[in-house]
Amino acid sequence: MRNVLIIGSGCAGNTAAVYAARANLRPLVVAGKHAGGQLSMTTLVENFPGFPEGINGPELVENIKKQAQNFGAEYIHGDVIDTDLLNHPFRINVEGEWIETRTLIIASGASARWLGLDSEQKLIGHGVSSCATCDGFFYRGKKIKVVGGGDSAMEEANFLTRFGSEVALVHRRDQFRASKIMLDRVKHNPKIKMLTSTVVEEVLDPSQHTVTGVRLRNLTTGAAWEQEVDGFFVAIGHIPNTAVFKGQIDTDPDGYILSKGGARTNIPGVFHAGDVQDRLYRQAITAAGAGCMAAMEAERYLEAEGH
Ligand code: NAP
């Protein structure tokens, strides 16, 4: 029986682990198959306080994990495939093994959103990617397209200019969600071309089992055309990882956990932290703060229950 089980090992989960471990609660962190969360797929993080020169995302998240382990947090790998949160203690199924816990912190984050084209899905891993940091290296001297108009797309486009012979950013509107500083960087990068009011209709060519190009359409003129592409990066946001809590934890229509104040969910003893609940800020520092809040609430809950 665990006092605290934490699902997720990104900034939120690891920070919750630091706090819970320091409170002598010996938390168990289920790290997930994509351990480290979004930070493990990013490059330089320039806005996490305390690092004037910036710090690489994977290093930052690993440091927080080590900090948690130093205080006694335990980590296991694998994904949560089922949960029973309607009975006490809560039960969490990690790859077939049920684990019991008095409190649960859900810090399972959010996964990349895809365009949903059949051709895109068929070519994931064969030229289609959602992670420039993971796959950019494969496109040295090649033609790259990035889809999206938010900070993620800007970050990916900029990063990919290290590798690609040319990088084009395709966005469906002519207004951007991205912050001004990130958008300006892209606009001033001579290696990046912008294709606005343009959508990707098809990724070519599934019959060749590799990306050879894209079919684009300009939404203003209606014109459609094809362009040669080697690497196709989709950076259009994320979907919260809450499927295993369906019917138990209250979520909004998009699946983000609904907060009941602080880090509380609709189930007493189950707390949320990070991107799985936060669709607004979604920063490393806010996720870390949310992890701290969740652990403190778990500690208070356990104390009130006499543990
Ligand atoms: P986002 O801000 O939600 O932007 C998603 C973008 O994808 C939007 O431009 C959207 O277009 C477009 N999009 C969505 N669905 C689409 C579809 N089906 N087809 C074509 N385009 C589609 O997501 P994000 O860029 O991942 O950023 C998420 C959060 O993380 C933000 O708060 C951001 O500031 C933060 N972030 C920060 C950094 C950093 O500071 N270093 C880096 C990355 C992310 P519309 O605009 O037309 O809706």
The per-residue pLDDT for 47 is: 87
Substitution site in 147, 155, 176, 177 for ligand 1 pocket (most atoms within 8 Å of beta carbon): 177
- CA dist 46 and 52 (Å) reads 8
Tell me how crowded residue 39 is: count the other CB atoms within 10 A of its CB.
25
> What SS3 state is found at 168?
strand
Residue 247 C-alpha from the chain's centroid: 23
Ligand 1 atom closest to Cα of 238? 26
Which residues lie closer than 8 Å to 50 by C-beta, 6 or more apart? none
Which residues lie closer than 8 Å to 278 by C-beta, 6 or more apart? 256, 286, 287, 290
197 lines ligand 1 (CB under 6 A): no
The per-residue pLDDT for 238 is: 87
174 catalytically annotated:
no
Catalytically annotated residue among 135, 230, 275, 278 = 135
131 lines ligand 1 (CB under 6 A): no
Q: Could you tell me the distance, in angstroms and rounded to a whole number, from the CA of residue 176 to the centre of ligand 1?
A: 9
Q: Could you tell me the distance, in angstroms and rounded to a whole number, from the CA of residue 94 to the centre of ligand 1?
A: 31
The per-residue pLDDT for 38 is: 82
Q: Could you tell me the distance, in angstroms and rounded to a whole number, from the CA of residue 290 to the centre of ligand 1?
A: 21
HSE of 103 in the Cβ direction (CA atoms, 13 Å)?
A: 31
26 lines ligand 1 (CB under 6 A): no
The per-residue pLDDT for 141 is: 97
Taking CA atoms only, the protein residue closest to ligand 1 atom 22 is 236
Low-confidence ranges of the chain (pLDDT < 50): none
Q: Which residues of 166-179 are buried (b: 16+ CB within 10 A; e: fewer)?
A: ebbbbbbeeebebe
Tallying the residues shown for the chain, one arrives at: 307
Q: Could you tell me the distance, in angstroms and rounded to a whole number, from the CA of residue 154 to the centre of ligand 1?
A: 9
Catalytically annotated residue among 79, 84, 131, 205 = 131
Tokens (6 digits) for 3: 């006092």
The per-residue pLDDT for 71 is: 98
135 catalytically annotated:
yes
Spatial contact of 252 and 236, defined as CB atoms under 8 Å apart: no
Tokens (6 digits) for 225: 């055309």
11 catalytically annotated:
no
Tell me how crowded residue 208 is: count the other CB atoms within 10 A of its CB.
11
pTM of the complete model: 0.78
Q: Radius of gyration over alpha carbons of the chain, in Å? A: 21
282 lines ligand 1 (CB under 6 A): yes
For 238, phi then psi, to 5°, come to -140, 165
